[in-house]
C-alpha cells in the first residue's frame, strides 16, 4: 500500500505549475516534533519485524484537531483519502515544489483552490496509518521527498535558492 500511495504522490507531482508561486521560507506548524525526516522505522507483528521503512516527512503534534495552515502560497492539487496517509492535502507551489499534509481529521480545501500562508487547509488527526493525533508534513521537489527543515529556514532559502537565482543569467 505504501508503494502504491507514494506512486500516486509522484504522479500528482508530475505536472507542476510552471511559475514560482511561493515566497520566502515555508512556515512550520507550531507543535512538538514526534518523528523526523529519514528516521528509520521497524514495523512489528506478533513480536517479529515485518517491515522496515524510512520516514519521508516530519510528524508534528499539537492539541487534538489543531488548525493547519498552508506552509506557503500555492494551489491545491489533491485533497482526499490516500491509504497510509489518510486524509491528505498536496499543494503545488510551482516549479516542482510541493508540500504534503496528512492524517488530517478535516480538510477545508479542494483541488484547484489557491492558498496562502493564512489559509487553514485542515485540522490534525489520526486518519490513515497514524499512532496519534498529529500532522505528517513533507516537502517534495520534482516528486522526490526532501528534508522539510531546510524549507522552514530563511537563511537556507536565501543561500541555496535566492542568491544563486539572483546571480544567474537567463
SS3 letters across 109-151:
CCCCCEECCCCEEEECECCCCCCCCEEEEEEEECCEEECHHHH
- Count the domains in the chain: 1
pLDDT of residue 124: 97
Q: What is the DSSP letter of 29?
A: P
43: domain CATH number is 2.70.70.10
pLDDT of residue 37: 59
What domain range includes position 48? 2-167
pLDDT tens by residue, the chain, 170 residues: 888 999 999 999 999 999 999 999 999 998 866 765 555 666 667 888 777 666 678 899 888 999 999 999 999 999 999 999 999 999 999 999 999 999 999 999 999 999 999 999 999 999 998 888 999 999 999 999 999 999 999 999 999 999 998 898 76
Amino acid at each position: 500500500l505504501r508503494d502504491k500511495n507514494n506512486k500516486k504522490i509522484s504522479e500528482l507531482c508530475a505536472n507542476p505549475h510552471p511559475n514560482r508561486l511561493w515566497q520566502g521560507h515555508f512556515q512550520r506548524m507550531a507543535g512538538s516534533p514526534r518523528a523526523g525526516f529519514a528516521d528509520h522505522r521497524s514495523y512489528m507483528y506478533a513480536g517479529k519485524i515485518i517491515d522496515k521503512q524510512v520516514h519521508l516527512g516530519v510528524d508534528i503534534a499539537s492539541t487534538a484537531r489543531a488548525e493547519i495552515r498552508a506552509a506557503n502560497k500555492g494551489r491545491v492539487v489533491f485533497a482526499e483519502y490516500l491509504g497510509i496517509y489518510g486524509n491528505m492535502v498536496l499543494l503545488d507551489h510551482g516549479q516542482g515544489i510541493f508540500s504534503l499534509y496528512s492524517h488530517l481529521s478535516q480538510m477545508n480545501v479542494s483541488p484547484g483552490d489557491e492558498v496562502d500562508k493564512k489559509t487553514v487547509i485542515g485540522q490534525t488527526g489520526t486518519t490513515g496509518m497514524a499512532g496519534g493525533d498529529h500532522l505528517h508534513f513533507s516537502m517534495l521537489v520534482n516528486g522526490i521527498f526532501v528534508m522539510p527543515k531546510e524549507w522552514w529556514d530563511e537563511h537556507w532559502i536565501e543561500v541555496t535558492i535566492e542568491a544563486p537565482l539572483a546571480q544567474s543569467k537567463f
